[in-house]
Structure 1
Amino acid sequence: MTSTAAVAIEIPEGRVNFFVRGRVAMLGLIAAESTIFTIFVVAYLFYLGKSLTGPTPKDVLEPPILFSICLLSSSLTIHAAIKQLRRGNSKAFVIWWLATIALGGAFLYGTAREWYRLIYVHGLTISTNVFGTTYYSLVGLHGFHVIVGLILLSTVMIFALFGAIKPAHCERLDVLSLYWHFVDVIWIIVFTVVYVIGR
């Protein structure tokens, strides 16, 4: 005759539960956003070289290598920030978190500068030709996601400056960092499609 025994595992109230739910929700969002990006990437590749008028990608695009390095480096700084917070070093957390925001901001500045050059020097707008339409749609979609990420990161920074971010919040920040890593990975794909394959 066998007997079954229930084993109870104590979980701190709200901690692991939020982490699991938050991570699942963020992964669901990332999956949905990945689908949208896939559609835009496929459209860009499908219409590549089909513009009847100039300018063409080869004529006007210059790979934003420096600003790409800034964005990709921000994945390292956000990881370092959360690692420092786990150790209870709030000051180092603020420095690394601020570095993440600065690197993301530098990338957005680079995008704005490139768009200014394309519009006012080369006359490429979203309505100039098919290339202009697909380029601004794809790169603009990514830029929008960077802006959303920077708003979220800046909100955390405001709370941190008032001393409201504690090591207990690391799980929540881990979930937020997933979004930022996603933005960085998407840029690798967009950069490859637009500035390598597309030229």
Structure 2
Amino acid sequence: MSTGKVDRRVEHSHHFDSMIQEHEAGKQGVWLFMATELMMFGALFAGYFIYRTKYYDAWVEGGSLLDWKLGAFNTIVLLLSSFTMAQAVTDSMQGQNKKAFRNVVITTACAFIFMIVKYFEYSGKIHHGLFPGLGVWNPEAVEVAQTKLFMTFYFVMTGLHGIHILVGIGLMVWLMKRLKNDEFSKDYYTSVEGVGLYWHIVDIIWIFLFPLMYLI
């Protein structure tokens, strides 16, 4: 077995029989990971719905404390990022690494914009004492216990989603480095597709979070 560096564009790893097998194994691994992510967020969504049914009025009050315009703006930003990420995958499948690089750059920029907006949104909530636990000393904090529970769900679910956005940014920076080095080809684009799948799941989770938290 050769110990030299493998050119992933034309050669499969030694523990696979072919490029196709390696690609399919990698894609299945990403889908398995995504399934665990959906189970985690699914449990949070279930808890959200249970308490929303039980404390409907407090949930409505909690939703009124959020700025739906900022949420809508971030939704548009993520939809754009999903389109550019999908285009990057298509470009890499066609061996067009330069085009894929540009689309990943745009996707990363959208991710940064999302997090900047979230920073200002969180800052406003914390300033007004809406962060869980601040009511102990902040007189401006929400007084209704059930509304505090809504804000806890808000910060936990959107915060966890934000962590996934940051992970996505890291993955895209890694992709940009590899695309810049022309490491992908028509036969090998598994990493680009895997990051694309991850990013689409992150976007889909926000598509559910936005209306539940901000609109209804």
Query: 1:88 aligned to 2:107?
Result: no
Q: Distance in 2 between matches of 1:147 and 1:33?
A: 15
The correspondence for 2:67, drawn from 51, 59, 62, is 62
- Which amino acid in structure 1 is aligned with residue 22 of structure 2? F
Give me the TM-score of the superposition, normalised by structure 1.
0.82
Query: 1:123 aligned to 2:141?
Result: no
Q: How many residues align?
A: 185
Given that 1:94 and 1:157 are in contact with CA atoms closer than 8 Å, whether structure 2 keeps it comes out as yes
Given that 2:97 and 2:182 are in contact with CA atoms closer than 8 Å, whether structure 1 keeps it comes out as no
Partner of 1:74: 81
Partner of 1:104: 111
The unaligned stretches of length 5 or more in structure 1 are 1-10
Offset of residue 88 of structure 1: 3.1
- Which amino acid in structure 2 is aligned with residue 189 of structure 1? F
**Structure 2 counterpart SS, 1:40:** helix
Give me the TM-score of the superposition, normalised by structure 2.
0.76
The unaligned stretches of length 5 or more in structure 2 are 1-10, 136-147
- Which amino acid in structure 1 is aligned with residue 41 of structure 2? F
Given that 2:23 and 2:188 are in contact with CA atoms closer than 8 Å, whether structure 1 keeps it comes out as no
Query: 1:185 aligned to 2:204?
Result: yes
Identity among equivalent pairs (%) = 26
Residues 4-39 of structure 1 deviation map (CA, whole Å, 9 limit, x = unaligned) = xxxxxxx97542122111111111111111111011
Residues 58-100 of structure 1 deviation map (CA, whole Å, 9 limit, x = unaligned) = 4411121111111121111011122223333332221111001
Partner of 2:160: 141
